[in-house]
Amino acid sequence: MNDQSSLTPSPETQVMLDCLRQAVANTLERKRRLGQYAVLWSEGAAIAVGEDAPMQLATLREPFQD
C-alpha cells in the first residue's frame, strides 16, 4: 500500500521538521564559528569535520558547510 498522502507530512509535522533542520543548521554554524569539529554520518560511517577533528574520525579535513 503506497498511498501518496502518507508521503506528504501534515502541516504540523512540516513545522516540526523545519524547526529541527534550523536548530541543526544553527548548531553547526556556531561550532564552525567557534572552530570546533562536528561529527556527521556519511556513506554509512561517522566522520569528523573541522580543523581540530580527531584523526581516527577525520576523513574530511576541510571546514564543514551547511
pLDDT tens digit sequence for 7-61: 889 999 999 999 999 999 999 999 999 999 999 898 888 888 888 888 877 654 4
Cell 580543523, residue located: 51
Q: How confident is the model at residue 2 (pLDDT cuts 50, 70, 90)?
A: low
Kindly provide the b/e burial profile for residues 44-56, where b requires at least 16 CB atoms within 10 angstroms of the residue's own CB: eeebbbbeebeee
pLDDT at 42: 87
- Does pTM top 0.85 for this prediction? no
